[in-house]
Amino acid sequence: GESVGLHLPTLSVQEGDNSIINCAYSNSASDYFIWYKQESGKGPQFIIDIRSNMDKRQGQRVTVLLNKTVKHLSLQIAATQPGDSAVYFCAENLGGYNKLIFGAGTRLAVHP
Amino acid sequence: DTGVSQDPRHKITKRGQNVTFRCDPISEHNRLYWYRQTLGQGPEFLTYFQNEAQLEKSRLLSDRFSAERPKGSFSTLEIQRTEQGDSAMYLCASSSGQGSYEQYFGPGTRLTVT
């Protein structure tokens, strides 16, 4: 079947390890950021978001860190599981109508 | 299922034909978005509706593309005179626009132009 992220950078981790996926965003005026997970043949699934007035936000097993100085976003996944295998995209909102600008994506491969 | 739905899931058409896709957003979400995604890339914004009003269109949306949301609920995206370069996944997303920026995506329509 089709494969999302055919030529994307890949992060390979062992099941149970922590994963860190990084993203550089483009616009210093962006005020909102989201991480999405996309499995092959499916639409992007919301994971976690963060507003520009924060530098860290935690969810269940996931943490997003925002460094506005260097325009960098990271997603940390604790105790990575095989079900976490997917392509992960960061997206930024330039304000206004909340149009999202997506980054290039990273494939996460979790090995048992 | 109360999520965003799209129809059809797959469409194969010959170059030059017209195609129409449908998106049903989450009930009561007043914001609806169309994106296009090609293999290996993140989704790219195409257009945005607030209720029935189309408020923004990307330069990616050529004259052959038209989108509507006639009653502020479901939306359609039509591509006329399809070209092979139109082959992509077409994604629809919706959001409530009420203090939340979260956009919820549908499963997409995979278009293949032969």
Contact at CB, A43 and B107, closer than 8 angstroms: yes
Chain A with chain B: Cβ pairs closer than 8 A: 69
B113 pLDDT above the threshold of 90: yes
Q: Considering CB atoms only, which of A32, A97, A104 is closest to B56?
A: A97
For chain A, the distance separating the N- and C-terminal CA atoms, rounded to the nearest angstrom, is 23
Provide the residue type at A13 as one letter: V
Split at pLDDT 50, 70, 90, the class of A97 is low
| Chain B residues touching residue A97 (CB < 8 angstroms) | 31, 48, 50, 55-56
- The answer to whether B101 contacts A34, with C-beta atoms less than 8 Å apart, is yes
Q: Between A11 and B102, whose confidence is greater?
A: A11
Average of pLDDT values for A95-109? 86
pLDDT for the residue numbered A4: 43
Instruction: Report the pLDDT value the prediction gives residue A22, as an integer from 0 to 100.
Output: 94
Confidence of residue B89 (pLDDT cuts 50, 70, 90): very high
pLDDT cut 90: percent of chain A above it: 75
Mean pLDDT, chain A, as a whole number? 90
Q: CB A100 to CB B45 under 8 A? A: yes
Q: Is the per-residue pLDDT at A5 higher than 80?
A: no
Q: Position A111: which residue type?
A: H
Compute the C-alpha angle B26/B31/B35, nearest 5°. 90
> Does the pLDDT value for residue A3 go beyond 50?
no
Who among B104, B107, B108 is closest to A46 (CB)?
A: B104
pLDDT of residue B28: 85
**Which has the higher per-residue pLDDT, B92 or A30?**
B92
Note the pLDDT tens digit of each residue in B14-66: 999 999 999 999 998 999 999 999 988 999 999 999 999 999 899 888 899 99
Who's near B88: CB < 8 A, 6+ residues apart? B36, B37, B38, B110, B111
The pLDDT score that the predictor gives to residue A51 is 92
Sheet holding B5-7, edge to edge: B5-7, B19-24, B75-79, B65-68
* pLDDT tens track for A50-86: 999 999 999 999 999 999 999 999 999 999 999 999 9
For residue B68, what pLDDT band results from cuts at 50, 70 and 90?
very high
Percent of chain B with pLDDT over 90: 82
Percent of chain B whose pLDDT exceeds 70: 97
Burial of A91 (0-12, 13-18, 19+ CB in 10 A): buried
Confidence of residue A7 (pLDDT cuts 50, 70, 90): low
